[in-house]
Structure formats: structure tokens, C-alpha cells
A and B are shown apart, each in its own frame.
Chain A
Amino acid sequence: MTAPVSAVPMAFELVAEGLQFAYNGRAVLRGVSLSIRPGEVLSLLGANGAGKTTLLRLLLGLSRPSAGAVCLNGKPLARYARRELAHHLAYVPQTHTTPFPYKVHEIVMLGRLPYTGLTHAPSRRDREVVSEMLERMGIAHLADRPYTEVSGGERQLALIARALAQGARLLIMDEPVSGLDYGNQLRFLTHLRALAADGYSVVKATHHPEHALLAATRVVLLCDGAIVRDGRADEVVTPAAIQQLYGVEVTAFHAPGHRAIAFYPSEPLSPAGEMR
């Protein structure tokens, strides 16, 4: 038997330094610096258009910054081969469907592409890794079901299993819970915490401040392409921060003995009017 791939994640360090990015002449990111440590769940909060998705794309090496650089273990992403990068960084998109009814295990097997290369058939070892990851995400029983026919929550778990099969230590997720029902959202956050406990790092963009408090060890607030706060979730996510990011007034409610907070709009609901 080979050792499970998930045993102990290797040390890694992803550092973004002075990232700037412009799209059609409009500055989307203006000097963002960020370093991601093993074992943390980092939630990225920000209004629509604040630059969350752009930042995630830069961290994944899918776009190049106009200034600054992202370095993995001290080497800029641009100097990595795509395939090598895939050993370290994985992208977990919003739950989606595929145009063709691939089986769930086939979707997860795609995570082995960086190891097999484009033209080789998967080996026994690859199949073992896939089973292990399906098991780990609790969806082994879905292995032979078409990905297009399982629920949104199950598809999201399959996408994480694929990222784990990649052997990646850093999972980058763009609004991973959008499209999941309430129960699945909470279950999903539990999975994230378990991953972090095993030494994986997660960077996710989210629209839910409460989720940041539930699952994140660290929260970064992004406003107009710049980081305005970066710190422990319970210190950063405050009514003042929500006012600053979204321009709405809320009151925080703490349940005694819990770290969770519920935010509720302050009375009367401020007639902010225009959607932003």
C-alpha cells in the first residue's frame, strides 16, 4: 500500500506582493499584498466589483498582474510550468454542470492530469487516489453516478475531491456556496474547517459575512481594489466593516458561548435605494 496523499501537506508559501491589475483602463486592484499560510481558511469579503475574483485569478496564475507578483515558495507563478503549478494550487469553481454526463469519478480523475500528463491513461495509483478522495469527501457512493444528475452540494464536494486529488495544498474557491441550499452551505463550511485542520489552506471569496465568521480563521476585506482590513475573523467582521464594504447598517447579535454572530439590518431598514 502506498501512503495516502493526504497524509501531511508539504510546507508551502504563497505570497502576493503589490498586485496591481487594470481592465480596460480601469484599475481593479491597486497594490494588494497578501501571504497565505498553511492551515488557514481565508475569507475574502468585498462588494460586487471590489476585485475579489480578479485577486483569486491572479493567485491562481490565470491572469498576470500589471505590476507586482505572486510567488509560490519564493518563485513567481509566471516562471512555473502550468502543470507544476497544478501540483500546488487548485481552483474550486462555483457549483456547475458539464455539457456531457461524466461520472463523478471521472470528474475527480481530472485532478490526476497534472501527474499523468495529457496523453497517458490513469494508473492504478491514480485510481487509488481518486477513491481515497471520494471517500474523504463522503461521496464514495456517488462515484458511478453522472455528475449532471447529483445535487449541487454533491457536485461541490466532487470538485473539492478533484482539488485534493490534484495533491494541491492551497484550494482557491470563488463563492463556493452560491447555488447550495442552506443546509449544504453549513455542511460545506464544516468540510472547509476539517481541511484546514489537516493543513490545507483555503482562500475563498464569499458574499456571506456570517460564513466568514463560521469557517474562516482569517478575513480580508477588499474595498475598491485595496485591502482595508486583514486579521482574525471575529476582529475583522464587525458592523462597522459591513457598513464600510456594503454601505448597509447592521446590528450584530452574539449567541452566548458561540463564536457565531448573526447580523440583522438596523431598524428602520435604511432606504439606501440604488443597487450597487
Chain B
Amino acid sequence: MSYARWVALLWVLLVVAVLVALSVGRYPVPVSDIVHFVLAAARLEEMPRDRFDLLYNLIVQIRLPRVLTAVLVGGALATSGAAYQAVFRNPLVSPELMGVLAGSAFGAALGILVSGNWLVVQSLAFAVGVVAVVAGVAFARLAGGASVVMLVLGGVISGTLFTALLSVAKFVADPYQKLPAIEYWLMGNLALADLRTIGWVVLPMGLGVAVLAGLGRALDALSMGDDEARSLGVPVTAVRYGVIAVATFVSAMTVSLAGMVGWVGLIIPHVARLAVGPGNLRLLPACACMGALFLLATDGLSRTLFNVEIPIGILTALLGVPAFLIVLHRARKGWL
């Protein structure tokens, strides 16, 4: 299938998935009702006041934040994952490589410990995630360089440090209220964010994903190795740090929106690569679409599979394992 067809297909699927996600749930709303509601909201159609209020509450206040969160988090994680894989020349890395998720987890736990305020938790998750990556890069430089190996080692050290700090936070947490809150947060939850928070992050996240996608060809060159990329005219160090910075910012934002949602950043780039090929100029936009689709679908399952909602992070991991095995099997010729 040609690239243009894939793009068209992905966009159509994304629109359909958003509509379906808005319609399913404990109180199903047919897609036709959603369309009528949108028309009424645009004052192109009449709708009884109480009906409009009901739909407004259901669609805009309850489901829309959740759907937008899924789209943003899935798209951002998948795109950062693909960018990380190119920068580190390794198809098996994901955005957590440089310690952002470990840092964010500790930040959120700290936020839950010192205050119950949701804004504090979100801000700390974001800030400490960024701090963890800065620490990882600093460790690498202390050890002597900005090479891929040094950065990976720096990230491992930083990740270990913040994982240990998270354990400390859990250990001292009140086991009846704070500890469960931390644990649930670590499982990921797409229903945490409200429209106001999403309004805050939608622009920087969209911009970050666009910047990563715009650097597609530089990423291709970087995946050839530093010397080759430099001799092709690419400012290797600047691009590498730039990609790490942008990917860190958007990943930390996903964490402050939805907690820990693992695996998306690792698997989706592989699925997308099977579809549109490894060229990053095409791969990254495809990743954004497929990541969003994957999380929308997973969220749909988590809401409808059982009476109780399953935390999203658990489902992405459960679905991710078989998906990854299939991808590994089909693609093993390509990379290892």
C-alpha cells in the first residue's frame, strides 16, 4: 500500500475512532446524536434544552477530555519513541530510556505525599521527569561524553536513582490513603485530566510532536552513526540534545496527563515501520496517528470489557506483549 493511502486510511480511522470513543460507554450515545449535538452547538440546528445539556455533560465534560487525553498521550509517546530509536540507533528503546518516566513517577509520588492537590501532582510529575533526564545527561557528561553509549548509561543511572527514590516515597507513605493513590497513579489513568489541563498542554505537545516529525531526515542521518551524519552536514550533537529535550518534554507531559502508560512508545514505532517503512519523515506522523489510535482502542476496551474499568497502563502492557511478539517475528529480518 502506498504512503498516501496509509495516511488517508490512518486519518479516516482516527476520526472514526474518536467518534466511536465518544459514543461508547455505560450510556451509549449513537454517532448520529453526536453529529446532531455538534450541529446544535454550532447553532445550525435546534435541540431541546435539557437534551442538549445532557449530551453536553456526557460528551464534552466526561468523554471528550478522556478521548483527547488518549489521542495526545498515544500520539506523543509513539512519536517520541520513534525519535528516540533513531537517535540511539536502537530499535528497542522507548522514551523512558533517559529516565523520564522514573523521574515523573517519583515526582508524582512526592506530589501525592506532600499534598493531595492534583495540580501539584501534575506539576511535580512533569518537573521531576525533566530533572531526571537532565541528571541522566549530566551523568553521561561527567563520565566523559555525549556519545550514545554514555547517554544510555547516564539514563540507566538516573532511572535507577529515581526508581529508588520512588521506593522511598512509597515506603514512607501512609499505607491506607497515600500508598494506594501512588499505586493507582502508576497504573495510568486517562480520566484524570480535565479540559482546562488539556488546554494547557495541547499546544506544547502538538508543537513538540511537529518538531520531532520535522526533523525526520536528520533522524535518518543520525541513525547511520555520528561520523556519517556529521559528514552529511548534520549538527549531530545539537540534533541529539534537541530530540532528547523535546521528547522528554512531551513524554513528561503525557505522564502529568495520564500517569504511566508504558509500551506505546516501544511498540507503535515498530507497527508503523511495518506499514510505512523506516524513513522518519513518514514514520513519525504515522506514529502520531497510530499511537493515538492504539490508545483510543485500548481505552475503549478498558471501559467496556468489564464492569470495573481496568487501568490503561495494565492494558497497554497486556496488549503490548503479544503485539510486540508478532512484530518481532515479522520484522526480525529488518533489524537484528
B223 at the interface (CB under 8 A from A): yes
- Which residues of chain A have C-beta atoms less than 8 A from B223's C-beta? 98-100
Contact with B along A34-64 (1 / 0, CB 8 A): 0000000000000000000000010010100
Asked if A119 and B215 make an inter-chain contact with CB atoms under 8 angstroms apart, the answer reads yes
Interface residues of B in 295-317 (CB under 8 A from A): none
B150 at the interface (CB under 8 A from A): no
A85 to B234, CA, bound (A): 11
Most chain B beta carbons < 10 A, residue from A99, A100, A119: A100
Asked if B230 and A113 make an inter-chain contact with CB atoms under 8 angstroms apart, the answer reads no
Asked if B333 and A62 make an inter-chain contact with CB atoms under 8 angstroms apart, the answer reads no
17 CB < 8 A contacts A-B: A60-B227, A62-B230, A83-B233, A90-B231, A99-B89, A100-B85, A100-B335, A101-B278, A101-B331, A103-B279, A106-B277, A113-B221, A113-B233, A118-B217, A120-B217, A148-B334, A148-B335
Contact with A along B194-233 (1 / 0, CB 8 A): 0000000000000000000011011011011101101111
B157 at the interface (CB under 8 A from A): no
Asked if B279 and A113 make an inter-chain contact with CB atoms under 8 angstroms apart, the answer reads no
A111 at the interface (CB under 8 A from B): yes
Q: Can you name the residue of chain B whose Cβ is closest to the Cβ of A119?
A: B214
Taking A98-B224, A101-B335 as given, write out 7 further A-B residue pairs in contact, using a Cβ cutoff of 8 Å, ordered by the A residue number.
Answer: A85-B233, A99-B89, A99-B335, A100-B91, A100-B223, A120-B217, A121-B217
A60 to B230, CA, bound (A): 9
- Which residues of chain A have C-beta atoms less than 8 A from B86's C-beta? 100
A57 to B227, CA, bound (A): 9
Asked if B333 and A149 make an inter-chain contact with CB atoms under 8 angstroms apart, the answer reads yes
Q: How far is the CB of B304 from chain A (nearest CB, A)?
A: 36
Interface residues of A in 114-170 (CB under 8 A from B): 114, 116, 118-121, 146, 148-149, 166
- Which residues of chain B have C-beta atoms less than 8 A from A57's C-beta? 227
- Name the prevailing secondary structure of the B interface residues: helix
Q: Which of B220, B230, B273 contacts A110 (CB 8 A)?
A: B220
Q: How far is the CB of B97 from chain A (nearest CB, A)?
A: 14
A82 at the interface (CB under 8 A from B): yes
A265 at the interface (CB under 8 A from B): no
A86 at the interface (CB under 8 A from B): yes
Asked if A118 and B215 make an inter-chain contact with CB atoms under 8 angstroms apart, the answer reads yes
Given A100-B91, A101-B278 in contact, is the A91-B233 Cβ separation under 8 Å? no
B38 at the interface (CB under 8 A from A): no
Asked if B231 and A91 make an inter-chain contact with CB atoms under 8 angstroms apart, the answer reads yes
Q: Which of B85, B90, B235 contacts A82 (CB 8 A)?
A: B235
Q: State which size class the interface on A falls in.
A: 20 to 34
A187 to B278, CA, bound (A): 30
Asked if B90 and A86 make an inter-chain contact with CB atoms under 8 angstroms apart, the answer reads no
- Which residues of chain B have C-beta atoms less than 8 A from A62's C-beta? 227, 230-231
Interface residues of B in 53-71 (CB under 8 A from A): none
A98 to B91, CA, bound (A): 11
A89 at the interface (CB under 8 A from B): yes
Q: How far is the CB of A56 from chain B (nearest CB, A)?
A: 10
Q: Which of A84, A119, A146 contacts B334 (CB 8 A)?
A: A146
Q: How far is the CB of A249 from chain B (nearest CB, A)?
A: 36
Contact with B along A246-272 (1 / 0, CB 8 A): 000000000000000000000000000
A231 at the interface (CB under 8 A from B): no
Q: How far is the CB of B113 from chain A (nearest CB, A)?
A: 41
B239 at the interface (CB under 8 A from A): yes
Interface residues of B in 314-336 (CB under 8 A from A): 331, 333-335
- Which residues of chain B have C-beta atoms less than 8 A from A114's C-beta? 232-233
A121 to B230, CA, bound (A): 19
Q: Can you name the residue of chain B whose Cβ is closest to the Cβ of A115?
A: B233
- Which residues of chain A have C-beta atoms less than 8 A from B335's C-beta? 99-101, 148
Q: How far is the CB of A78 from chain B (nearest CB, A)?
A: 13
B281 at the interface (CB under 8 A from A): yes
A12 at the interface (CB under 8 A from B): no
